[in-house]
Structure 1
Amino acid sequence: MPFQPIEPRRLYRQIADQLRLLIQSGEFPIGARLPPERDLALKLGVSRPSVREALIALEVEGLVEVRMGSGIYVHSRDAANSVVAESPLETIRARQLVEGELAAQAAELAQPTQVAALREALQTMRDEAAAGQVPIQGDRLFHLRVAEMTGNSVLLRVVGDLFDERHNPLSVKLGDYFENPASWKAAIAEHGLVVEAIAAGDAVRARDAMRHHLSCSYDRLMANWVPTSDKVKT
């Protein structure tokens, strides 16, 4: 059963469906290593981020096993319930658009007490990280407080909903691979730049700082991943 090109407008779910069919048909037997992420993207005519999310979905379903430094292997032909969740990488891009503008508005509208509350949320992140915890509570509070500064309850709800997508199965699994004390240290520093821009009332710098932070978040999830076979040979 040959690979079938996938239209770019489709999401990771269609890629996972096709890979699942190939596994269940015996194209890739149990124990076989799947082609590298780069090769799958070329064969399917899609982006590597979409392939990565599809592979993570198949791992969550129990069809494949990720062996760090080796590759991705077929684990079973019988999937658990299919993963249906928002794309973590598309969610970050959506947040980049929405929250960049909110940060700019926050810089124009923020009151001193609100800036103090934002600094407090950032300190919560630092305290959580220092205690060896994933600083999710402080992170969520930070982004909500930026949204609160706009005085728009609808946008506040949107920011909360987008942030909470990080708890979906795909986001959790990606976080398991890519989030660590070093990545959170970088993220906290990026949050600090947002605070300083908002405190200075600099809308342009606040927008850029928020977009930069979320762009870095995206890049961290697209760092070198798993298989040695995915590296370009020299």
Structure 2
Amino acid sequence: MVVVLTGAGISAESGLATFRGPDGLWEGHRPEDVATPEAFLSAPELVQRFYDDRRAALATVEPNAAHRALARLEHALGDAFLLVTQNIDDLHERAGSRRVLHMHGRLKAARCTECGESTHWDGTLVDEPPCPFCSQRALRPDVVWFGEIPYGLSEIDVALRRVRVFVSIGTSGNVYPAAGFASFARAVGARTVELNLEPSLGIDDFVEHQHGPATQVVPAWVDGFLAEREA
């Protein structure tokens, strides 16, 4: 079983701003102002506009070579592959990946705070459209905010108990629970690999690491891994 974890670094080369860093989204907005349940209760219009803008930005970018390489890896491995992403964009799917678990939710989804149903969503939410299931005007971005529980933790746990190769790509290693996945994978005997622009905070959990732009190191690693399997 190969489990791949991706973070904002893989999408940055497609032109999507990361949340951290000198040009990150948090430079213009405090996390507590746009990414907490409390922020949504106190300033729903601000929060909705923030995510509406992020959703619209997806139309201006395309998957890059790193996204496409992971889709190729999935095609080769089939059910023995799981891609866990902290990203809320849809670039993995647009590159061809299908076994994708969005642990922090998806920009192109809305969840109703009244009935709890989630639905695909391409448009805006600031204008308070009705929920397609219950008709209440109670839709919010279906993303995981600070203080909320990430999606798919049970499925991730099952995969990590079976993992033989764990690969972390484009993540800083400072957001839990994802930051603990490499340590868990190593503890169960998996080969742990970091592909990142620079060493992450959890670098000691990886027995292999390649540092550089994702569009370079990810395709190169995938090529090498698939060549090993065929040898």
TM-score (norm 1): 0.23
Larger radius of gyration: 1
Structure (1/2) with the larger helix percentage:
1
Structure (1/2) with the larger strand percentage:
2
TM-score (norm 2): 0.23
